[in-house]
Amino acid sequence: MHRYPEYFAHRHPDDELDCAPLLAAGLRREPAHTVVHFDDRAITCEDAARHIVQLQRWFADEGLVPGDRVAVMLGNSAEHIHLIYALVLSGLVWVPVNTKLRATGLEYVLQHAEPKLFVIEDAFDDVTSQIECGTSRRVRLPAFDANNTDAAFATPQIGVHDPLCIIYTSGTTGAPKGVVFTHRMMRIASEAALRIADVRDGDRLFLWEPLCHIGGAQMLLLPFLERVTLHAVPRFSASQFWSQVARAGATQLHYLGGVLDILMQLPQSAQPDAHTLRVAWGAGVGAAAWEPIQARLDVRLRECYGMTECSSFATANVTGKPGSIGRALPWIDIELLDENGQPVKEGEAGEIVLSSRVEGTFLPTYLKHPEATKAALRNGRLHTGDRARRDADGDLFFVGRQTDSMRVRGENVSAWEIERVFAAHPAIRASAAIGVASPIGEQDILLNVQFKEAPVDWETIDAWARERLASFQLPRYYRAVDGFELTASERIRKHLLPRTVDDAWDRFRRVRA
């Protein structure tokens, strides 16, 4: 069970679906080939190889051996890319650290992962100087000697199921969990990204995602799978976006973290009449926003669904049906199950439960968390904790987290669906819907709202919502907040929000009055 030409037909049948041999062969095959443009700097295979040689010497000087963990807290840069390639080829376990982490959250990752080294840059001196790093040593990347080219990089024996990195998930209901992400998982994630983003020879993929996020990391193998180039920038910038796209001739955009919403809010004059983008791919576009986004941005949407634990991706919408996450990828099978583990009927919501015909698609374990591993992996299947429904055509629609839904007047209500609607309100920066106790049984909905600038009165908000939500989806309560506490992956920590409604606006009280 180790060759899969039926799923990856353009690969050699002896391909073991791994990373290090693919990367090593690609770097050696064509030294002058440019794989990444970082801003205006071209990174060729030869350039990357020379950096890797020197980084491997540095690893040895620091006493690292294959299997050791190296935590990395760096912004996007060419040096960061070189370091990731070097870690992959050396059999070291990369622990990407979100650059927005501070204090307790940062200490938790370092003490839990126990890396030998903690690589930082000057920008993070202050935030890391006062924390307890556990057993790890804070270090800087060594200076690169451009004249030192007298050796080839090493390629130790690395198994496809060996850990490539430890990726910490959001932890919306508790401490973050460390997903042990293997070399095969990274390869499958990269293969899936090619398929979902409709990548073709000659494409130029815009890489703005933080490299500490799986959304950015999984892109780094793409130039070694297809004849494409990555065009990377330090971070997403709305003001520079269209000029960067034009300069790169970019053909694909990965949307994460509200990027499309930000672009839609730019004045029409900020967007050029013509551009090179062909596809925008990612997750989170609802049916109502689908056509307006495609028309305004002049791109084709390719929605998907996945999670870190299943090699990042499980579905792809290749037909363009508005709001759908599509169907299972060829190596994935999806069941929608009720609370008793039985399949739900067509149109009903059930938990997304995954199985795969490719060995090693799912995480082998959560680091130091056997209880969470046992809960997620049961009888060879991955229980995602997410909910979806399937229509008569067989297409899937994401509903929300099982732990992020409410029971209102006999209806299961997805917080995600409510929040997607309120995200379109011009005055609202972010919102979080939670269930609170109802005096008549089950639950009522409380919407916490962060306004962009001046608040809008609740009666106006409520009237706006009535035109866009089903009656059972309408919040009863509204509360204004200054901001939300976020996880490392920019999700709202809902478990920290108060469930009391004493300071909330109650639309029922207004109606009775």
Report pLDDT digits (tens) over 352-378. 999 999 999 999 999 999 999 999 999
Q: Which amino acid is at 7?
A: Y
| 468-512 pLDDT per residue, tens | 887 888 999 999 999 998 876 677 888 889 999 999 999 998 644
Is residue 109's pLDDT more than 60?
yes
What is the pLDDT at residue 170?
62
CA–CA separation, 51 vs 327, rounded Å? 41
| pLDDT tens figures, 39-90 | 989 999 999 999 999 999 999 999 999 999 999 999 999 999 999 999 999 9
Pick the CATH number of 20-377 from 3.40.50.150, 3.30.1230.10, 3.40.50.12780, 3.40.50.2000: 3.40.50.12780
How large a percentage of the chain has pLDDT more than 90?
75
The answer to whether the CB of 252 falls within 8 A of the CB of 279 is: yes
- CATH code reported for the domain at 404-512: 3.30.300.30
Residue 291 above 80 pLDDT? yes
Which helix (H) or strand (E) is 138 found in, with range?
A: strand 137-139
Virtual CA dihedral for 239, 240, 242, 247, nearest 10 degrees? 170
More reliable by pLDDT, 337 or 11: 337
pLDDT for 1: 41
pLDDT band for position 4 (cuts 50, 70, 90)? low
Kindly list the domain boundaries of the chain, sorted by start residue.
20-377, 404-512
Cβ density class 70-81: b for 16+ within 10 Å, e for less = bbbbbebbbbbb
Residue from 116, 43, 30, 29 nearest 78 by CA: 43
Residue (of 441, 452, 438) closest to 482 by Cα position: 452
Percentage of the chain surpassing pLDDT 70? 95
The three-class DSSP label of residue 227 is coil
